[in-house]
Structure 1
């Protein structure tokens, strides 16, 4: 009973941004996930997993239950992580951890936002716990982490590169196939589910039927794909050949502007779902670009990854830009009291960024300080030969780095993409430096230590 109460109390600590706002936070893309069951419609650029997660809790009644579910999931995961890295989870330690993350990091802002962003940090923790701390989990907890990890990975395609990188990392760091296979299980479930859903919906068994369009948008904005199009047109017969003079252009403009090349014919007529229709051509252009401009692509990806790694402020997710035409449409399908609360919230009134400005001020210096503290924690774990803690710490750093690549190099550098996962760095610093129970030993190691102590004392005692 006490752990349950501690987990619920920890969850409550993460709720404060929603309470400050007066309603759960939303983003322009929230409508795409809510609309999957409320309209219903299936956006061509989103997976169906997070929309199903939201509906599991809101049922067309209120958007508060999904937020409550997210903060409880996060708090429980932190309880398990504390046990894995400290040897035991305590009420005081959990409340201190949740309170620190809630006040000093980006975690609470994404935990109360109706977007799959919170799962960007949840997915790595699930895989790392399965890979390095299985002996500190019950069977029920391990099964839960497999299911939660699968949902977290499948909630957004940008989570998949991070998950795959962590599986490889766990196999190397744990020096064994079994830990890697445990971590790979939720990833395999997520990938299998996405392939099955896409096969049913589009007739093509693929992870992402339209994902090539996003990479094309990035590569043409950086220049290499635009050069490929110019070199191959007009003989290639691509739709984009008619727009060579407009390329390169901003990747967001390329994807979403109604007047952009994917969304218009050469005669100026609109193309419904233009991005989706461009996917086969995008695959051909990307293949040619990678073949003909590999160095330029690598340089652009490295540059964008480094840019993304430096961008982790929360502010760009808090405004009301485009919300009236996006998220509000979905909330309007709920009871009138919900729409009224949504309209009265500080975010919709445009007041939330100013209200949050001073509250967000500590986050950047905290992240920078924690980067140094994590290195100290790694040295401490290495000195103690605590492979589980060292693996968890390094794994969180790997997740943060790969996320910067997956979002910056393959999409568009934006503060939101890195802010949603950067709270893993303060988490790593806090648990990496926290006092250990049993010196961070596993249960098996504790038993062996007791046996060695007993054998030593027996051999040193005088014979009868």
Structure 2
């Protein structure tokens, strides 16, 4: 147990090395909104009330290094459990996994970033463990993994379709009620949690009370919603009729700048919480757009998802854009002076982090390109050994990175950090499965009635055709 704890803690430190180089946790402008959820407090219109309270659970207005440490330990522990399922409790192999992820992939730029992005890969690992490995977890570990999965799914709206895709795929593979129920329980719990918090905070029993505004931003950027507005105005009397001549525009420019159509009306008056004010009209425009141009909407979603799938660089988590206004003010108003000094001294705050990081980014693309062949080789090795658990992990990873691209690129906007947060699992899972298939790296067999490791047929159809999981 002591060796395992040391390995997990050491792996956690490896996974946040960009924060040590930076001199502070990596931040994004949205981090300020999550801090405001408990510090102000303020129920942000565009964010679930989940990640902000989790930050506060650890920072207690003392330091953001504390939630970063918790985040790193959480990721390291989930990787430890995954490795233990594949090859047993081997501390040195866990350290090798964390070292590889830290040095060769974008993982540390997600783990060291105080954003709910960190939960995307964890949701995938948790659902894998719940669906295909609970006999190698203790009861406490199973409950813990379920709790992490629930909070992770609820922490970001894009994690809902991600989790749904994984649960559906898990059901197709498992074909038994118990593992499917274990995978579905966190998703159902996350839905209930979102409904409850939105009812309390926004007075609406909804998963996303103002999510239509985001979808409208995406659809007008792609063109269909802009054409709907231009065709239906001024007869429909929509607020956005006054901006029909400016559309389409970039979705971020539509949503966030102070002078955007969302935040300033045609007469130049500022609109406080403009995104929330626009959401009833946004629902109407989105519905009309889907009625008018369903094919164009579907084609745009596919294009954006494919584009997102190939955008996975770490650069947009390193820049200082809007950090002073969005995060610096929160730290100055609610944290000790020493914490503000650490924020001010950080390389990211001073705009020096991208240049300092450049040499460390070089392995990322080659390793990502290696990921798919590694997974294919892992599929072959797992099928040859009849190891359905390893096969399931690889299949869930492939489905997860695809579902993540669809949920973020198609419904929001392609950004590098969206796919970088999860695509690092592709080469890592492939390497772990290949390593586990080698002699001496297999965990002890489970009792015959529950074993999923017995040698079997080489094809997936034959493997699944025997008994399911």
Q: TM-score, normalised by structure 2?
A: 0.93
Where does residue 159 of structure 1 map in the other structure? 159
1:175-214, Cα deviation, whole Å (9 max, x unpaired): 2232121011111111101101111122210000011110
Q: Is the 8 A contact 1:367 1:425 kept in 2?
A: yes
Distance in 1 between the 2:52 and 2:451 partners?
Answer: 48
Where does residue 168 of structure 2 map in the other structure? 168
Where does residue 22 of structure 2 map in the other structure? 21
The answer to whether structure 1 residue 79 and structure 2 residue 76 are counterparts is no
Q: Is the 8 A contact 2:385 2:453 kept in 1?
A: no
Question: For the structure 1 residues 449 and 71, does the alpha-carbon distance in structure 2 shift closer, same or farther, using more than 3 Å as the test?
Answer: closer
Query: 1:326 is paired with a residue of what secondary structure?
Result: helix
Where does residue 135 of structure 1 map in the other structure? 135
Distance in 2 between the 1:154 and 1:181 partners?
Answer: 18
Question: For the structure 1 residues 45 and 450, does the alpha-carbon distance in structure 2 shift closer, same or farther, using more than 3 Å as the test?
Answer: closer
Q: How does 1:242-253 map to 2 (within 5 A)?
A: 242-253=242-253
Where does residue 214 of structure 1 map in the other structure? 214
Question: For the structure 1 residues 448 and 107, does the alpha-carbon distance in structure 2 shift closer, same or farther, using more than 3 Å as the test?
Answer: closer
1:30-83, Cα deviation, whole Å (9 max, x unpaired): 100111122222221111110011000000011111010011011110011012
Q: Is the 8 A contact 1:82 1:89 kept in 2?
A: yes
1:355-414, Cα deviation, whole Å (9 max, x unpaired): 100011101110101111111101111121211111111101111001001110001111
Where does residue 462 of structure 2 map in the other structure? none
Higher mean C-alpha deviation, range 300-309 or range 254-263:
254-263
Question: For the structure 1 residues 449 and 31, does the alpha-carbon distance in structure 2 shift closer, same or farther, using more than 3 Å as the test?
Answer: closer
Query: 2:53 is paired with a residue of what secondary structure?
Result: helix
How far did residue 89 of structure 1 move? 2.5
Query: 1:102 is paired with a residue of what secondary structure?
Result: helix
Q: Structure 1: any 5+ residue segments left out of the alignment?
A: 453-464
Q: TM-score, normalised by structure 1?
A: 0.94
How far did residue 327 of structure 1 move? 1.1
Q: Is the 8 A contact 2:387 2:453 kept in 1?
A: no
1:308-329, Cα deviation, whole Å (9 max, x unpaired): 0110000111011211111111
Q: Is the 8 A contact 2:307 2:409 kept in 1?
A: yes
Q: Is the 8 A contact 1:136 1:442 kept in 2?
A: no
The answer to whether structure 1 residue 181 and structure 2 residue 181 are counterparts is yes
Q: Is the 8 A contact 1:386 1:440 kept in 2?
A: no
Distance in 1 between the 2:149 and 2:62 partners?
Answer: 27
Where does residue 267 of structure 1 map in the other structure? 267
Figure out how many residues of one structure are paired with residues of the other and give that number.
Answer: 451
Q: Is the 8 A contact 2:368 2:427 kept in 1?
A: yes
Higher mean C-alpha deviation, range 34-43 or range 123-132:
34-43
Distance in 2 between the 1:81 and 1:323 partners?
Answer: 35
Distance in 1 between the 2:380 and 2:436 partners?
Answer: 15
Q: Structure 2: any 5+ residue segments left out of the alignment?
A: 456-469
Q: Is the 8 A contact 2:85 2:133 kept in 1?
A: yes
How far did residue 173 of structure 1 move? 1.2
Where does residue 63 of structure 1 map in the other structure? 64
Question: For the structure 1 residues 331 and 131, does the alpha-carbon distance in structure 2 shift closer, same or farther, using more than 3 Å as the test?
Answer: same
Question: For the structure 1 residues 219 and 438, does the alpha-carbon distance in structure 2 shift closer, same or farther, using more than 3 Å as the test?
Answer: same
Query: 1:325 is paired with a residue of what secondary structure?
Result: helix
Q: Is the 8 A contact 1:169 1:395 kept in 2?
A: yes
Query: 1:313 is paired with a residue of what secondary structure?
Result: coil
Where does residue 198 of structure 1 map in the other structure? 198
Distance in 1 between the 2:330 and 2:372 partners?
Answer: 40
Where does residue 421 of structure 2 map in the other structure? 420
RMSD: 1.9
Q: Is the 8 A contact 1:32 1:42 kept in 2?
A: no
Q: How does 1:261-410 map to 2 (within 5 A)?
A: 261-332=261-332, 333-410=334-411
Q: Is the 8 A contact 2:12 2:73 kept in 1?
A: yes
Distance in 2 between the 1:451 and 1:273 partners?
Answer: 58
Where does residue 447 of structure 2 map in the other structure? 444
Where does residue 223 of structure 1 map in the other structure? 223
